[in-house]
Amino acid sequence: MACKGSSVRVRSAPPRNFVSPHFLCGLKKFQCRGGVRKAHEDGHNSRKIFAIRTFPFYNPGMLLLLRHSYTTKKPDIIQGTDNTIELSDLGRVQAANVAVRLKPFNLEYIVSSDITRAQQTAEIVADVLNIPIKYDCRLNEYNYGTLTGHSAKELSPTTLQKFLVNPVDDFDAEPFESAFVRVGNFLESIDYDRNILAVTHSTILYLMMCYLENKTEFNVGSCWEKRRIYPTQNCDVFRIRNPESDMRILKNKYFCKMKRQRGS
């Protein structure tokens, strides 16, 4: 389906009594330098933990990227552009929890993929933060073609290699270069002087990493390797200061206090 641009939905103030605001529970020892935040080292996987205070603080503007919540599908299923997949009950609770933890960022609005699971995640966050949503199909998940619905674990090395070499003719999938260009167009269109949240999908996050590394040439091998080096989880939050910066992860398992599992 062709991308028809974005739409805006302004949501009324939601009830505030269904989410726990005590999001720092579960952190080991919390100390805050300068009253805002301090990076701690996670002893399990050496990823940075950014513990965020619950009071508002000043920041010069940024784009936050949120991967959608858990869905009703098994985590190893390639979900792609399947628009029938919805959030699970756990995913809805997870989205509400992460929304509370995003309050200190003083977000102005949300830009979301218009695929159902991302829409539902964005709507829950918007209800908690009482901010508008814009839908932008440039944030839609990569179209995996005939691989959609299959288990990623069951893909043979031969099938995977064949997909990476020729996804269009052999699998009726989206050209990697096309997805790379639309992701780049989205990143270049953002006003980085404002605080904005984008709700999207795992492959789009990896394409963004590739774009920030090299804006003129896409390397499919590098993109796929990033899945191994930087495994993303549902409701992971990333930050981009501007198109010339890198992506910084702002959360780990303590942020949502949820069991982490993978899904596209």
Mean pLDDT (the chain, rounded): 79
SS3 content of the chain, % helix, strand, coil (to 5): 35, 15, 45
Beta strands 195-200 and 62-67, pairing class: parallel
| Per-residue pLDDT at 240 exceeds 90 | yes
Output the CATH code of domain 48-256. 3.40.50.1240
Q: Quote the percentage of the chain above a pLDDT of 70.
A: 72
Stronger pLDDT, 38 or 86, i.e. the higher one: 86
Name, in order, each residue with C-beta under 8 angstroms of 212's C-beta and a sequence gap of 6 or more.
187, 240, 243, 245, 246, 247
CA distances from 154 to 72, 201, 202, 233, 259 (A): 19, 21, 19, 20, 24
CA distance 248 to 32: 19
Q: How far is CA 1 from CA 14, 24, 137, 206, 215, in A?
A: 33, 42, 10, 22, 25
- Residue 124: half-sphere exposure toward Cβ, Cα within 13 Å: 28
Token pair listed for 88: 């699970």
Is the separation of the CB atoms in 248 and 242 below 8 Å? no
Q: How many residues does the chain have?
A: 264
pLDDT in tens, 35-83: 333 333 333 333 333 333 333 444 578 999 999 999 999 888 999 999 9
Residues 236, 251: contact at Cβ < 8 Å? Answer: yes
The better pLDDT of the pair 257, 203 is held by 203
Question: At a CB cut-off of 8 Å and minimum separation 6, what does 121 contact?
Answer: 66, 68, 69, 87, 91, 95, 112, 199, 235
Whether residue 149 has pLDDT greater than 70? yes
Answer for the pair 68, 121: CB distance below 8 angstroms, yes or no: yes
Domain ranges of the chain: 48-256
